[in-house]
Amino acid sequence: MCPAPAFLAWRRIAEMRCGGFGGQKMKLTKKILAALVLASVLGNAGCGAQNGGETAAKETTPQEAAAEGTSAMEVAAEEAEVASQARMAANGGEAAEADQGSAEGAEDAGGKNGKHRVAADDETVAPSQVVEEGMEPVYADALREGTYPVQVDSSSSMFRVTECTLSVKDGEMTAIMTMSGDGYTRLYLGTAEEAAEAEMTAAAEGGADTSEAGADTPEVGADSSAALAGGAGFIPAEVTEDGVCRFQVPVSALDTGIDCCAFSRRKEMWYDRVLVFRSDSLPQEAFAEGVIATAESLGLADGSYTVEVSLEGGSGRASVQSPASLEIRDGAAYATIVWSSANYDYMRIGEEKYLWSGDGDFSAFAIPVAAFDRKLTVFADTTAMSEPHEIEYTLFFDSDTIEEAVQ
């Protein structure tokens, strides 16, 4: 069997306190201490020789220590204390208090900054950009009071919102997000570093214990204020009777990136996310009067016009003709959308379908334009595949480009 490693010899020395044989004080000279350490080092060298060139044991990295349930800060604190007590035995306690303070300082640092609970870049899926160029924040005063479905884009494919409802009341917005799984137990509106700091602060101030990833979660509708870690801002998962996981979060604005981090049940770490609640996914009736540009608000008289239109979605290979013909009839706007192929047999907006007559070389549809200067969600059914298939697109009609049609 190989001799104990050198650091174990130091530990054993540290355990030899001032008490000793018959209560007499044991005094270890520096020469004896040096001899013990040298013997341990030589023993380790011999063990290496016996191994016949076997690779030395890999040094424990902070990541490995954390995976084994011991943080890098705890390892540093333990090593500092071992060295301190070894010197205490050799020097009769001189400078021991200072070294002990160093050990406690290392341990305190690990507890206060909480960095061992924050997922590193190499531990996360590469984030996607969800804040689009040209996006302008939309606040609660631009919406009517009510509850509406809203699309939520997440910067991480590991944090997927399958359904969301937005409630607007008293000048504030609140969203209930339904998740694709139950892997996260709580959220924090901020960065992962800020969540770890808030967690340690709440614990120091005697707030609720937020460290248990498997803690019971309240059902939807239950008062969750007690779970906010003494006002630290943690948002617990709400679980329905059938096991669906939801989070109820305040929404400061639509069409802007909102920093959010989620605590993983399995990994027990905070992960950074960015969420965008999209205003272009709201129904037109959600907006307050005058917020959305319409034919009426733009003062367009009945007649024929043209307007620039852009298409997004699908595989990116399809396109539409621009400018498009625009007709204003009885104050309502209708655009003729001409596709780059003849493979579309109908378009759909909401539940209403618009059919192609089949005339011409390309699929063409007359559809209503509910609003200008915002993305409108439409669906087009393609027959180019083995079976007909609806594809989701968005159309954007730029009101600045509206011109009267040339007769």
Q: Is 153 helix (H, G, I), strand (E, B) or coil?
A: strand
In whole angstroms, give the CA distance from residue 376 to residue 280: 7
pLDDT at 205: 78
Residue segments in the chain with a per-residue pLDDT below the cut of 50:
1, 3-34, 36-38, 41-115, 211-231
Residue identified by tokens 């948002």 is 235
At 128, which amino acid appears? Answer: S
Question: How distant, in Å, are the alpha carbons of 104, 190, 209, 232, 301 from that of 203?
Answer: 18, 18, 6, 10, 65
Cβ proximity of 247 and 261 under 8 Å: no
In whole angstroms, give the CA distance from residue 206 to residue 200: 10
CB-CB neighbours of 344 under 10 Å:
23
pLDDT at 210: 52
CB-CB neighbours of 180 under 10 Å:
14
Q: Which two tokens stand for residue 252?
A: 């400061």
pLDDT at 249: 97
Domain architecture of the chain: domains with CATH: 6-113 (no CATH), 124-285 (2.60.40.1850), 292-404 (2.60.40.1850)
Residues 6 or more apart in contact with residue 10 via CB below 8 angstroms: 37, 82, 83, 86
